[in-house]
Chain A
């Protein structure tokens, strides 16, 4: 950076900022192209409301909109399965509210984002649509696993708190709404058999079973590769604790920096 001893003028400052960030002129906000309204328009708004707050009203709106869209998309098996998955997650969140597993919220958002892709983009091939669905079902099964493995460690009191009731309620919320249901949406057209190459795929199996089979195979492979490694569910709890400790340390550190900054500023003001 140029070392200048003289005062900076507004023009010089502007030039310097251009050097740092590149020249970007303010743009007008007019939207260039008008698009026809998306069928997900209302769900979009509801998703944003959920992002804001997981209120009873927002979740109820979400469930009702998803249910209605699922009926509208009954002919589209992939989209319909997506709606079913979202509905199931919505039901779970509705039951668990503040105790919802954080991964469920992330999954809800990512599944919705993938659903938007398959509904709104004409560039996504049928194969990609199905792959996106399988990916989300796998994640869904991961969530189920995370929930059921939550209270494993008996020595970790912090994690264990209220775990028994939480676990059974979570499992009930998820499995009660979903077990076997994805199979209903499985495409019966026969064009599915060449769409996947992942291990564990068996033609004619339900989409849900298929995905969980893949997840199981993957887990087995990892365990085989690392004999003597910590069981997956313990690692999960350990990870949560480590993350919490890291977060605590970070907050402590930030507070310390902030305090010293405030002190420094106070000193500065006194000077």
Chain B
């Protein structure tokens, strides 16, 4: 459930970008940050290892106006995808309101996507959150690699592997080029906000 600051009359909505390591979660956030209107731009916090991998998480907050008389603050987080950082992933999921699952469309990453989705489900269970009751958006990233002849999973395969039960809105994307990064985020925000509105009523 979203965090409500009654003093400030602020509603904080937490959207987490989850997915396998090197899938493009941070690249998504980097693109979003660069596309933001300068007037709204806030600092993006990113802690990376020497190898440019997310060590802890990325964090990008911004305001989008009022809902039910409260200022709505969107907080985007990514998790470190590497298997060994599960404790951090769990921690970042705490209080999550909406999710973007960034899957890697490369054929060789098929198992990692499935593994990551099941890890997400398990981690959410620890907070008594049912993945199927959360607003989730599926993003099948790295479709640009098709231009380089790298074997990719088809949309149908990805959807059947990851989305057959969830039936979440899904996008193919290239976070590197920015294709469908903003539509993914917009869908995630609007679905999460509308879901919260229902819950708060």
Contact = CB atoms under 8 A, between A and B. Distances in A.
B36 A254 contact: no
Contacts of A21: 32, 35-37, 182, 185-186
B65 A1 contact: yes
Interface string A255-271: 00010001011001101
Contact of B190 (A3, A5, A10, A271): A10
Contacts of B1: 269
Contacts of A38: 148-149
Given A4-B66, A5-B66, A29-B143, A265 B94 contact: yes
Interface string A1-31: 1111101101001101111111011110101
Contact of B69 (A5, A29, A45): A5
Interface stretch (A46-54, A63-71, A78-86, A142-150): A46-54
Nearest to A12: B65
B64 A29 contact: no
B186 A17 contact: yes
B68 to A, nearest CB: 6
Given A24-B183, A26-B171, A31-B147, A7 B68 contact: yes
For chain B, what secondary structure do more than half of its interface residues adopt (helix, strand, loop), or is it mixed?
Answer: mixed
Interface string B102-145: 00001010000000000000000000000000000000000101
A172 interface: no
A1 B149 contact: no
B146 interface: yes
A21 B47 CA distance: 24
Contacts of A102: 50-51
A254 B64 contact: no
A163 B27 CA distance: 35
A36 to B, nearest CB: 9
Contacts of B180: 26-27, 29
Interface residues of A, number: 46
A228 interface: no
Of residues B21, B22, B65, B190, which shows the largest number of chain A Cβ atoms within 10 Å of its Cβ? B65
Nearest to A40: B148
For chain A, what secondary structure do more than half of its interface residues adopt (helix, strand, loop), or is it mixed?
Answer: helix
B22 A250 contact: no
A52 B148 contact: no
Interface in B25-82: 32, 35-37, 40, 45, 47, 50-51, 55-57, 62-69, 72
Contacts of A221: none
Contacts of A121: none
A37 B22 contact: no
B21 A52 contact: yes
Interface residues of B, number: 56
Contacts of A105: 50-51
A189 interface: no
A245 to B, nearest CB: 14
A165 interface: no
B193 interface: yes
A184 interface: no
Contacts of B185: 17, 21
Interface in A175-207: none
Contact of B62 (A20, A41, A44, A268): A20
A35 interface: yes
B189 interface: yes
Of residues B36, B63, B94, B186, which shows the largest number of chain A Cβ atoms within 10 Å of its Cβ? B186
A194 B47 CA distance: 45
A72 B122 CA distance: 49
24 contacts: A1-B40, A1-B65, A4-B65, A4-B66, A8-B72, A17-B190, A19-B37, A21-B37, A22-B182, A24-B182, A24-B183, A27-B180, A35-B147, A41-B148, A41-B150, A48-B145, A49-B108, A52-B22, A105-B50, A251-B47, A254-B57, A262-B91, A262-B94, A268-B4
Q: Nearest 9 CB-CB pairs, A to B?
A: A29-B172, A102-B50, A26-B183, A24-B182, A41-B149, A8-B67, A17-B186, A29-B143, A265-B95
Interface of A: 1-5, 7-8, 10, 13-14, 16-22, 24-27, 29, 31, 35, 37-38, 41, 44-45, 48-49, 51-52, 102, 105, 247, 250-251, 254, 258, 262, 264-265, 268-269, 271
